[in-house]
Amino acid sequence: MEKPEQGVALSRSFEKVNAILEKHGYNPSNLIGILQEIQEEYRYLPEEILTYVATALRVSPAYVYGVATFYAQFSLKPKGKHIIRVCDGTACHVKGSEKVLKAIREYLGLRDGEQTTGDLLFTVETVACIGACALAPVIAVDNRVYGPMDEEKVRHVLEALERGDEVS
Amino acid sequence: MKFTTRKELEEYTALLRERENPKRILVCMGTGCLAKGAEAVYEKFVEVLGAKSLSASVVFEKEEKSSFPLCPTGCMGICETGPRVRIEPQGIQYLRVRPDDVEEIVERTVEKGEVVYRLVQQEATNGQVRYWPLMRDDPFYRKQIRLVLRNCGSINPENLDEYLARDGYLALAKVLTEMTPDDVIGEIMKSGLRGRGGGGFPTGRKWQLARMVRANQKYVVCNGDEGDPGAFMNRCLMEGDPHSVIEGLAIAGYAIGASEGYIYVRAEYPLAVKRLRKAIQDAYAAGLLGENIFGSGFSFNVHIKEGAGAFVCGEETALIASIEGKRGMPNPRPPYPAQKGLWGKPTVINNVETLANVPIIILKGAEWFRSFGTTTSPGTKTFALTGKVKNTGLVEVPMGITLRELIFEVGGGIQGDKRFKAVQIGGPSGGCLPEAYLDLPVDYDSLCGAGAIMGSGGLVVLDEDTCIVEVARFFMSFTQSESCGKCVPCREGTKHMLSILQKIVDGRATLEDLELLEETALVVKDASLCGLGKTAPNPVLTTLRYFRDEYIDHVVHKVCPARVCQAMREFWIDPDKCRTCGKCARVCPVACISGRPKVPYVIDQTKCIKCGSCFEACPFDAIVVRWRRKDNE
């Protein structure tokens, strides 16, 4: 198993952030896009970077914080290497998405309130709808959709991910 | 190829048509089929065709000997049976294709025109198996009319030429060279096209309102923030035919006098974003977007904005705030976006599907469009048919079709031939309609009258195993967590409604709670600021209207007829099986199990919280779970 890269997110160098800000022309109306790219880079939004972005865009840190906490996509806590999104849309819900979620959380040993495993390998989230309702219940791992899932199949997917295999 | 005049485009279209190879292998590469392994199937086709030295990629060269263009397409419809493959010109369709099947398909169907029956859609009735090898015979497609989805599943969405060969951008060319903006608005008004995002506001009127406002800058926005859980039509459209959306957006821009357009796509749709970006890039390169299109003096730029996961951003004013880089919170209307929208400028916001309708209306005329659908709701509507129905997937049907036709003919009926219970239309803003409404025609006004809404087109079928109260609770928990918190009725009201619904599901509610739930629902509906709050009570109100008995069962009898709500179970210890080991008593978190060695243990029903710990702990399977029934049953 690959070791999670420690300390990436805490890098004090703002070079990458500057490049992202540059690309968006330091335009506050691109704030969502800027935060998305920062999150892509660091896997979450570190607080000192939010303040830095606010200063660079000449808006208040509260404004940036407001946007960062409004949208479900953004996280202020470090996320895992693989992001598992369990769909709990209507179709998935009526077809048993809760059981799938429970199976994943049990497999990864997540306690109540925890979203990310201690080794920073997996983050488990629920989303309203992935838009693959015909395959309900579905999960998406790092933007790849798997479905229809059940307790058994989801364990196979996780096992394969831990081995670092491609899952078919 | 860069087009500078309409004539050049028309000549090129004619050339493409002449050269187009009618033979084709279409492999669905929509999100659904990709999840089922379509990519491996596609690669296998490349390999097999290559090994037979058949050319796999020449779409526009009929003369090329032994060429079988292999075409990755957008969604074909029945996602559940993916990966899907269709062989043209015959229209032979295969489902659940695995890479191992590819060789046989190439040898038998592609080269000899035979059908491989084991991969064909089949239906068993009364012991007789019927096969539907051809797309046109398949009951799933028979009642469908595909106007908006005309290219979806038939062309490679990443290839501009394929869109051009099907009259792509000819509508834009026609508009720019022979119609005034008022003509365009007039034609759309005449067609009776109504907003496909849910509200059903006449598109022509919306454009006219924005056209009448004088401003140095105006904007058109395509709303691709399809947030309804259970809906994916717009995703399929953006993935399967991105150019039709872009062309519609450009026509809207010309009609209202906007030179800038935005497409707002939700973050959960990465493939749609990728294909739209490619399409926009190709359109710029071909001179179909950008400065002075077709030498008409009209310039139009398109930008993509990605959402970041907020349901409320589907609401017009919230969407505008989100494009501006702010928190996606709605604003009071008026002023309407058509007067004061994005950056304070007049802005028209149209749904993806609405815009995809525009090019065909312009090309074929309002009269032709009105020949589909009903008088007040002309045209067709796409639906995401999901839930407990046999054929789940993307469908497009004429307005006015009945729910029965939609669910039982197109959808093929209920899975496992269980009993139909309700259909949920319009997602968290819509309602649940019972069996008695199956013959209701599907159009804006009929649905509204029944307490539901068209919504963007999510259609979730529920069977007898679904608990209506739990579904209402599910929707309320969704809207409650998505409420942006700006106005009090929605922020507080949804929270209270959710807690009452939770009480009902947990078997702790009284009849007063039911009254309070209804009263709160009406207040939230009347007093909320935006569409999210105004429609959030709909699932509760419709279920209370049509399934009141089921609420009463939960509240008064503490019974869940669908056997879903865990609190409506009872745990008993079978005295014959109990070996009096006491394991159950030790794990019980509320200490409601008592007994002593050699005397079977007993559960105190009044204290039991139905957690199921004893059930899991018992090594002798002595604990039985029973669903409570009504006393008279």
Q: Give the per-residue SS3 of B269-296.
A: CHHHHHHHHHHHHHHHHCCCCECCHHHC
CA distance A126 to chain B (A): 11
CB B79 within 8 A of CB B30: yes
**A87 and A157: one domain?**
yes
**B388 and B488: one domain?**
no
Domains held by chain A: number:
2
Q: Which residue in the set A29, A129, A138 is minimally distant from B230, CB to CB?
A: A129
Q: What is the CATH number of the domain that holds B459?
A: 3.10.20.600
**A111 and A54: one domain?**
no
**A88 and A139: one domain?**
yes
**B349 and B201: one domain?**
yes
**B362 and B481: one domain?**
no
Give the Cα separation of B115 and B351 in Å (integer): 40
ipTM value > 0.95: no
**A88 and A59: one domain?**
no
B575 preceded by a cis bond (ω within 30 of 0): no
Pairing of strands A144-146, A139-141: antiparallel
CA distance A34 to chain B (A): 10
Query: pLDDT band at A91, cuts 50/70/90?
Result: confident
Give the Cα separation of B160 and B282 in Å (integer): 7
CB B20 within 8 A of CB B59: yes
**B125 and B253: one domain?**
no
The 3-state secondary structure of B292-313 reads CHHHCCCCEEEEEEECCCCHHH
Nearest residue to B261 via CA among B234, B224, B235, B315? B224
**B241 and B341: one domain?**
yes
**Chain A residues bordering chain B (beta-carbon distance below 8 Å):** 27-33, 35-36, 66-67, 70-74, 88-95, 127-136, 138, 143-147, 168
* Distances A50 to A37, A45, B323, B516 between C-alpha atoms, Å: 13, 7, 19, 43
Which residue of chain B has the CA closest to A132?
B32
Residue numbers in B near A126 (CB within 8 A): none
- Residue range B513-536: mean pLDDT, rounded: 95
**B238 and B338: one domain?**
yes
H/E stretch holding B386: strand B380-387
CB B248 within 8 A of CB B257: no
Domains held by chain B: number:
5
Interface contact A36-B386, CB threshold 8 A: no
CA-based angle B354:B356:B359, to the nearest 5?
110
pLDDT by residue (tens digit) across B293-303? 999 999 999 99
**Res B477 pLDDT > 50:** yes
Cβ-based neighbours of B182, under 8 Å, separated by 6 or more:
B211
Query: pLDDT band at A10, cuts 50/70/90?
Result: very low
At A22 the pLDDT is 95
**Res A12 pLDDT > 60:** no
A130 lies in some domain? yes
Domain limits for position A22: 15-70
Interface contact A129-B268, CB threshold 8 A: yes
**Res B408 pLDDT > 80:** yes
β-bridge partners, B560:
none
B614, HSE (Cβ side, Cα atoms, 13 Å)? 30
CB B483 within 8 A of CB B491: yes
Q: Within a 10 A sphere around the Cβ of A111, how many other Cβ atoms?
A: 6
b/e sequence B105-126, b meaning 16+ C-beta within 10 Å: bbeebbeeeebbeebbbeeeee
**B131 and B167: one domain?**
no
CB A92 within 8 A of CB A127: no
At A7 the pLDDT is 46
Which residue of chain A has the CA closest to B470?
A94
Give the Cα separation of B146 and B394 in Å (integer): 11
Domain limits for position B387: 380-463
Q: What is the CATH number of the domain that holds A103?
A: 3.40.30.10
CA-based angle B148:B153:B159, to the nearest 5?
95
Residue numbers in B near A70 (CB within 8 A): 310, 327-329, 484
Instruction: Show which of A70, A90, A110 is a domain's final residue.
Output: A70
Which residue of chain A has the CA closest to B323?
A29
CA B414 to chain centre: 19
CB B187 within 8 A of CB B226: no
Interface contact A145-B31, CB threshold 8 A: yes
What share of chain B has pLDDT > 70, as a percent? 99
Instruction: Show which of B463, B479, B508 is a domain's final residue.
Output: B463
Cα of first residue to Cα of last residue in chain B, in angstroms, is: 75
At A128 the pLDDT is 79
B1 lies in some domain? no
Average pLDDT of chain B to the nearest whole number: 92
Pairing of strands B219-224, B260-265: parallel
At A13 the pLDDT is 66
pTM, whole model, 2 decimals? 0.91
**A66 and A112: one domain?**
no
Interface contact B35-A138, CB threshold 8 A: yes
Query: pLDDT band at B633, cuts 50/70/90?
Result: low
pLDDT by residue (tens digit) across B347-361? 999 999 999 999 999
B2 lies in some domain? no
**B548 and B586: one domain?**
no
Give the Cα separation of B404 and B418 in Å (integer): 15
Q: What are phi and psi of A123, to 5 degrees?
A: -120, 135
The residue of A36, A67, A90 whose CB has the most chain B CBs within 10 angstroms, and thus the best one to mutate to test that interface, is A90
In order, the DSSP letters of B9-48 are: HHHHHHHHHHH--S-EEEEE-SHHHHHTTHHHHHHHHHHH
Interface contact B325-A32, CB threshold 8 A: yes
Interface contact A132-B31, CB threshold 8 A: yes
* Distances A84 to A40, A72, B144, B283 between C-alpha atoms, Å: 15, 14, 36, 35
Instruction: Show which of B109, B142, B175 is a domain's final residue.
Output: B142
**Res B625 pLDDT > 80:** yes
**Res B613 pLDDT > 60:** yes
**A53 and A125: one domain?**
no
**B254 and B276: one domain?**
yes
B476 lies in some domain? yes
A2 lies in some domain? no
A5 lies in some domain? no
Interface contact B308-A66, CB threshold 8 A: no
CB B378 within 8 A of CB B370: yes
Residue numbers in A near B228 (CB within 8 A): 129
CA distance A49 to chain B (A): 17
Residue numbers in B near A127 (CB within 8 A): 268, 309
CB B341 within 8 A of CB A103: no
Q: Within a 10 A sphere around the Cβ of A86, how many other Cβ atoms?
A: 25
